[in-house]
Structures are given as C-alpha cells and as structure tokens.
Amino acid sequence: MAEFDEARLDDPAALAAADERLRELAESGARVRREAGEAGEAILRAVAERGGERPRAVIAAGPDSRLLRAVLEPWCPVPFVAWPAPGLPGWAGSLDLVVMLAPQGSDPAAASAVAEAVRRGCQVVVACRPGSMVAEHAEGRWSTLLPTTTGDQLATAVVMLDFLHRVGLGPACAADEVAASLDEVAVASSPHTDLAGNPAKELAIALAEALPLVWGGSTLAARAARRLAEQFRRSSGRSALAGDAEHLLPVIEATRPRNLFDDPVDGSDLRPLLLVLDDGADDPVVREQRGRLQTAAARSGVRVETLASDAVSEVARYASLLLAGTYAAEYLAVGLAGE
C-alpha cells in the first residue's frame, strides 16, 4: 500500500506535477462567470419566448439530471421528474418541459433523449455546446439552446438554473454568488498556502490513514458526498463510502475502539473516518441524524472531520463543499504519489 508523505504537499516539485488539475480547480469560479455571461442573452430570449406559461411537468433528462433534481424537487411548483435513464417517460408530450444539461455535448444517450423530446413535440431547453451532437439533435420548433462552452457540469447547471428561476420553476441561483464561493475555496486551498493554514491539505492528511465515510444531511449535501466519495476512491485507490445515516451507522458501530498497542504504521488496518458535509441545513431530521452519527463515532473512536459552508444560496454551498473536498482529494493523490 502506498505510503502518504505529507511533506509533498508543500514541495514545489510535487505540486508542479499536479499543476494542471489544481489550476483547473482554481478556475472553477471563472468558468461559472464565463458561462453565465455568454449565455445571458440566450436566457433572456428563452424567458421572453415562454411568456410566463407553465408546463404540465418538468422532466430533467440525461445523466446530469440528478443535480437538477436535488435543487428543484423541493421547490418546483409543477411535477418534477429526473430521468437519467435512456429515452423519456412514456407520458411526456407537448405540455411538458424537457430540460437537459450536456456539458460536453457528445453523449449519444443524451442526444437520443433530446431527439425523442423533439419528436414528441415537448418544449425543450438544452444547455450544451453549440454545434455539438446534442445541439444538433435538439433542433426543433419548440427547442431552445442555452450555449455553454467550458464543459463544466456545475457552470452548465448554473446557466440552466438561472433560466428556470426566471420562468418561475426554480429557486434563485445567482452565478456571481456561486462563483464567489468557489473563489473563496480556491484561495483557502491554494497550493501556495502551506499546511498550517490550508484546510484542504489538512483534510488530505486526515484522509491519508483512513477509509472515508462521507455524509451530507440535505439533498444537495448528500449529492456532494457521493461525488466526493468517488473522488477519494480515484485519488487513493481505496474504499470510500457515501450514504444516508442508516447506511453509515453499521460501519461506524462495527469499528472497535483503537488499541493502544496497535502499530500506527501498519497501513493494512485503515480505520473509518466520518466526513460530515455541513451546508447549514437546520432540518430536525438532519440534526438528529448528524447527532446519531457523531455519537456513534465518539463511542467507537472514529475520527470526525467537518467541511462547512456558509455561502448565501443552496447551490453556492453545494459548490463550495464539493470544491473543498475535491481539493483535498487532489492533495491526497499528491501525498500518495511518492511511491
């Protein structure tokens, strides 16, 4: 098993090897601003064309539909369906609005789904790259293209959410707020900030000798947890689990308290670490689940780390938590790359 070397997190040569990916993370806020600015006129035209008419239902199609569901489902004033499977629900028709995020614009399944929506006469709004496969299949009398060019999923989602808010189908999602929260994370987690003052590097060190259990109480925090667990698996090649409290509690409760005579350098017996994503959700159920997890962790001697965000909007908090955790995943990979 690769051994983690925390000195690499402040080593210019080691950080230079990861410069491309770290630079991509640092530019997250800029991508949101760019997409929102370039799609601004198209959004205004799309809003004017709708004329305030509400659809019978909103269908978010394609593989990125779950992010839209996490934001819209509690808010949307008409029935909302996320449909990540191929095609569309059998009942979808001319009274329904089909929306799709296609950041790359090259997914055949997404192109097929949007072509089916056009064929059925649905109202279609797609955020994707102009001239892409998805854009070509979206052409139709009742179709609207919101142009995006960076291939960034979050930035593309912000464009779509801005449109949906303006037509009364979703909550406010100000691109400037999302971008500002991303910029704050990028500054705090910069590779030029040393270990002593860098929360992402500190979290990477905590993760280096652990198997992460990632939990988020709200719908958006739970989605961020799933994304981060995937990032941690990729960075370390180890297990990482995200889930609801009832899924994580058995793992925590089955962990025996650490024996004082355990060999601390034996990496064959990595212990769980509970990573709580706190987006400020104050729902009683969320508080109760967080309390149960933290109590169980204390009883079993499981370390608890918290990523928190106090950004203004739900989407900004989601973006902030996801970027902070992704920085930690990248620093975890840097620390393990010395073997």
Q: pLDDT category, 147, cuts 50, 70, 90?
A: very high
- Convert the pLDDT of each residue in 241-296 to its tens digit: 999 999 999 999 999 887 655 555 544 578 999 999 999 988 999 999 999 999 99
Angle at 188 between CA 182 and CA 190, to 5 degrees: 95
Asked if the model's pLDDT at residue 122 lies above 70, the reply is yes
pLDDT reading at 231 higher than 80: yes
pTM of the model: 0.93
What is the CATH architecture of 29-173? Answer: 3-Layer(aba) Sandwich (3.40)
Question: In this predicted structure, what is the pLDDT of residue 1?
Answer: 59
Measured in degrees and rounded to the nearest 5, phi and psi for residue 190 equal -60, 140
Residues of the chain with CATH 3.40.50.10490: 6-18+191-336, 29-173
| 191 contact partners, CB below 8 Å, separation of at least 6 | 15, 18, 19, 22
Residue 194, pLDDT above cutoff 70: yes
Q: Which residues, 6 or more positions from 109, have their beta carbon under 8 angstroms from its beta carbon?
A: 62, 63, 86
CA dihedral 196, 198, 199, 203 (to 10 degrees): -80
In sequence order, which residues have a C-beta less than 8 Å from that of residue 302 and are 6 or more positions away?
213, 252, 255, 271, 272, 273, 274, 296
pLDDT at 339: 53
Separation of CA 186 from chain center: 16
Q: How far apart are CA 269 and CA 95, in angstroms?
A: 57
Task: Give the chain's mean pLDDT.
Answer: 93
User: CB of 18 within 8 A of CB of 39?
Assistant: no
Mean of the pLDDT values across residues 95-103? 96
Tell me what pLDDT residue 96 has: 97
Phi, psi of 211 (to 5 degrees): -110, 110
| Distances from the Cα of 35 to the Cα of 20, 127, 297, angstroms | 21, 10, 42
Cα–Cα distance between 89 and 91 in angstroms, integer? 6
Orientation angle between helical segments 284-300 and 245-253, nearest 10 degrees: 10
Pair 92, 117: CB distance under 8 Å: yes
Per-residue pLDDT band at 150 (split at 50, 70, 90): very high
> CB neighbours (10 Å) of residue 81?
19
> Which CATH number applies to 6-18+191-336: 3.40.190.10, 3.40.50.10490, 3.40.50.720, 3.40.50.970?
3.40.50.10490
